[in-house]
Amino acid sequence: MEKALLATEQSNPRTAHIDKMTTMEMLHAMNDENRRVADAVEDALSQIAPLIDHIAEEMEKGGRIFYVGAGTSGRLGIIDAAECPPTFGVSPDKVVAVMAGGGGAMVNASEGCEDDAEAGERDLMKYSINEHDTVIGISAAGAAAYVIGAMEAAKRVGASTASVCCNPDTPMSKIADYPIFANTGAEAITGSTRLKAGTAQKLILNMISTCVMIKLGNVYGNYMINLNPTNIKLRKRAIRTICTLTGCDEKLAEDALDKNGNVRGAIEAIKGESVGGAK
């Protein structure tokens, strides 16, 4: 019977006696499992790259990214989407997260919502999905009905679909134009996919959004030239970036930032030339 279980639902022999371990033994055991996550993502890079190239092309035509998930997977989508405006200066409607149970499920678990395929379709289609959008379903098991409902609805209107799963040959991967499989295996605590599976999903979403934004010209060198300096820390970072990339002093950087309103504009004003740009 064990062989029929999804890989992420199987019992991990390396942590079979974790309840008898000392605190340090537990920590070492969990950290050993976490080391396997990067290797699982490494093995999936050839699946991730074509998706990034496709999204970048479609976003240049006005397309958007939609993350769809339930539980931990949904929360990870929200985290990644929420970070894109302050990091890359894009509008909040360019990278959007749709989660089973809505915003309330971000802080209060609402596990039953993932079984409602119609809700997934309904929640996604509120955004008037079109052929330039890319809908990325996120689910460790790859079988959440809410996510499947959203992905199927997206395909019907010509949008591209991708799946980020931690089991092979899932219902979601069979729907997706760009299936991504991170083989994280059994969790330290049986079935607790918020652990390795969630970590792998976070790494993959980081890669997708970051690499797409680089290709769209929102990074110069390895600096965030479109960040929104909305607090003291970010303003200091913006001024430091301007100084580094132009060689000017802080006073000139600060004046240019205030006059132009953003890092890219300040750098271009000082250097007298364009920076960044889509690749």
Residue ranges of domains in the chain, CATH in brackets: 40-215 (3.40.50.10490), 220-271 (1.10.8.1080)
Strands (E), the chain: 65-69, 95-99, 134-138, 160-165, 178-181, 219-220, 223-224
Q: Is 254 a catalytic residue?
A: no
* pLDDT recorded at residue 1: 34
Structure tokens at 153: 């609805």
Nearest residue to 71 via CA among 150, 134, 139: 139
The alpha carbon torsion through 209, 166, 50, 87 (nearest 10 deg) reads 10
- Selected catalytic residue, list 33, 58, 114, 121: 114
Plot region of 128 (φ>0 → left; ψ -120 to 50 → alpha; else → beta): left
Percent of the chain with pLDDT over 70: 97
Structure tokens at 193: 């996919």
Q: What contacts 184, CB < 8 A, 6 or more positions away? A: 7, 8, 36, 37, 40, 140, 166, 196, 197, 199, 200
Q: What is the pLDDT of residues 224-265, one digit of tens each?
A: 999 888 899 999 999 999 999 999 999 999 999 999 988 999
Query: pTM of this prediction?
Result: 0.93
Q: What is the pLDDT of residues 5-15, one digit of tens each?
A: 899 999 999 99
- Selected catalytic residue, list 25, 33, 42, 83: 83
In degrees, rounded to 5, the angle at the alpha carbon of residue 236 between the alpha carbons of residues 235 and 241 is 95
- Give pLDDT < 50 ranges for the chain: 1-3, 279
CA atoms within 13 A of residue 9's CA, in its CB half-sphere: 11
* pLDDT recorded at residue 107: 76
Q: What contacts 106, CB < 8 A, 6 or more positions away? A: 74, 75, 78, 99
Residue 77 CA to residue 92 CA, distance in Å, equals: 13
Are the beta carbons of 201 and 209 closer than 8 angstroms? no
Q: Is 114 a catalytic residue?
A: yes
* pLDDT recorded at residue 2: 43
* pLDDT recorded at residue 61: 98
